[in-house]
Amino acid sequence: MQYLVAYDIPDNGRRNRVARCLLNFGRRLQLSVFTCDLETRDFLRMCRKVEALLDFKEDRLQIIPLCQS
- pLDDT category, 4, cuts 50, 70, 90? very high
Tell me which residue range forms the domain holding 55: 2-66
How far apart, in whole angstroms, are the C-alpha atoms of residue 25 and residue 14?
Answer: 17
Q: What is the CATH number of the domain that holds 18?
A: 3.30.70.240
Q: Give the confidence band of 67 by pLDDT, cuts at 50, 70, 90.
A: confident
Cα end-to-end span (Å), the chain: 11
- Summarize pLDDT for 12-64 with one digit per residue, the tens: 999 999 999 999 999 999 999 999 999 999 999 999 999 999 999 999 999 99
How many domains does the structure of the chain reveal? 1
pTM higher than 0.85: yes
